[in-house]
Structure 1
Amino acid sequence: MPRIRDAGAADLVLLPEVEAASDTLLFGRPEIRGDLPLPGPADPQELAAARKVLVAGEPPVAFVRLEEVGGCAHLEQLSVHPAAARAGLGRALVEAAVRWSREAGYPALTLCTFARVPFNAPFYSSCGFAVVQPSGELARVREHEAELGLDRIGERVAMCFDPTPQS
C-alpha cells in the first residue's frame, strides 16, 4: 500500500485528473441520476489553498482534501482513481485525515456525501462517521451543494466524526 503523504506542488497539478476519474465511479449507479452533471474537479490553485491535502502513491492515485468549516476540520473531497480502487487507499486516507484533525486540535471532522452510494455514506459510517443534522457553516455548505445541483443528482447527508481519542 502506498504511504500517505502531504501533497507537493507537483502532485496538485495531477489531482484534478484523479478526481475526474474517481467521479466516473458514480456513473451508472442506481443511487445517482446520471443525466445530471457533477461539478468539475478542483483546480490546482483551489487545492493549493486547501487547509491540507494528503495523497497516496507517486504519482498520486488517491487524495483527500481537508478544509475548515465552522471551527471543525472538513473532509471536502476524497478521490481514488478507479485503477486503484478497492485497495484500501480511501480508508487509509480517511484514517490519516482523522489523525491530522486530531493533531491539529479540531473538535470534530465533518463531511457531506451521497447518502446511498455504498462507497460514500455507508463507507464513511464504517470509518466511524455518523449522519448529523447540519447547522451553522456546515448547513451553509449543504445549501451550497444544493445550489450546485448535487441534491438533484442523489440524496446527500452531512456526517461527523469526533476525533477525540476515546478512553
Structure 2
Amino acid sequence: MIQTNGATIIRVAEQDDMAGLARLELAADAQLQEALGGVLLPPPQPSGDGSELFILVAGRPPVGFARVDELDGQAHLEQLSVHPLAGRRGVGRALVEAAANESRLRGFTAMTLCTFADIAFNAPFYVSCGFEEYRCPGPRLAALRVHEVELGLDALGRRISMRREI
C-alpha cells in the first residue's frame, strides 16, 4: 500500500526502516515530555517485533510512523510518532487516515487508541480525526490501560481510551 498526502508518501514499513523508528519515537517523545513539564517517559516499546498487525511510515527515510496492533477484535493504533521537524504538516493526520484505511481493508470496523487527554497534539488531535472517548473498552484494551497505570503514565497526566468507526 502506498498513499500520498501532498508530497508525503505513506507506505508499509520495510526492514531497513525498523532500526530508525526507535530514534524517531524518541525525538517525538521529547516534544511530549516538554508538554508534560519535562518528566521522563518510559522507554519506547520496540516496533517491528512481530506483534503488530502492520507499521506504516511516512517518507524515505521515515519522518513518522504508525504502528497498529489488534486488541479485542479491533485495530488499535499503538503508536503514532512524527519527528518534530516534520510536525504540523499533516504527516500525523495522513498516517492516521492511512492506518484506518489499511485496517478497513483488513476487515476491521473500528480503531482504538490510548492517549493523554489534555495535550493538544494528543486527544484533541484524535478528536479532529474522528475519534471519541471510549468508556467501555474490551478486556485487552482495559488490560492495556492497567499496564499504562503500572508504568506510571497516568501519574503524568489524564489518560483516556478512544475509538473511531472505520
Residue 72 in structure 1 maps to residue 74 in structure 2: yes
Match of 2:141 in 1: 138
Contact 1:34–1:153, Cα closer than 8 Å, also in 2: no
Gaps of 5+ in 2: 1-6
Structure in which a larger fraction of residues adopt strand: 2
Residues 122-166 of structure 1, C-alpha deviations (whole Å, 9 max, x = no match) = 000000000011232111111111111100111100000011xxx
Residues 43-99 of structure 1, C-alpha deviations (whole Å, 9 max, x = no match) = 3552x4321000001110100000000110000000000111111000000000110
Normalised by the length of structure 1, the TM-score is 0.91
Normalised by the length of structure 2, the TM-score is 0.91
Residue 14 in structure 1 maps to residue 3 in structure 2: no
Residue 43 of structure 2 aligns to a residue whose secondary structure is: coil
Structure 1 segments of 4+ aligned residues over 6 angstroms from their partners = none
Match of 1:151 in 2: 154
Contact 1:33–1:154, Cα closer than 8 Å, also in 2: no
Contact 2:72–2:138, Cα closer than 8 Å, also in 1: no
Residue 78 of structure 1 aligns to a residue whose secondary structure is: strand
Superposition CA RMSD, Å: 1.3
Q: Which of 19, 41, 59 pairs up with 1:38?
A: 41
Match of 2:60 in 1: 58
How far, CA to CA, are the matches of 1:8 and 1:49 in structure 2?
15
Identity, in percent, stands at: 50
How far, CA to CA, are the matches of 1:107 and 1:13 in structure 2?
31
How far, CA to CA, are the matches of 2:8 and 2:45 in structure 1?
23
Gaps of 5+ in 1: none
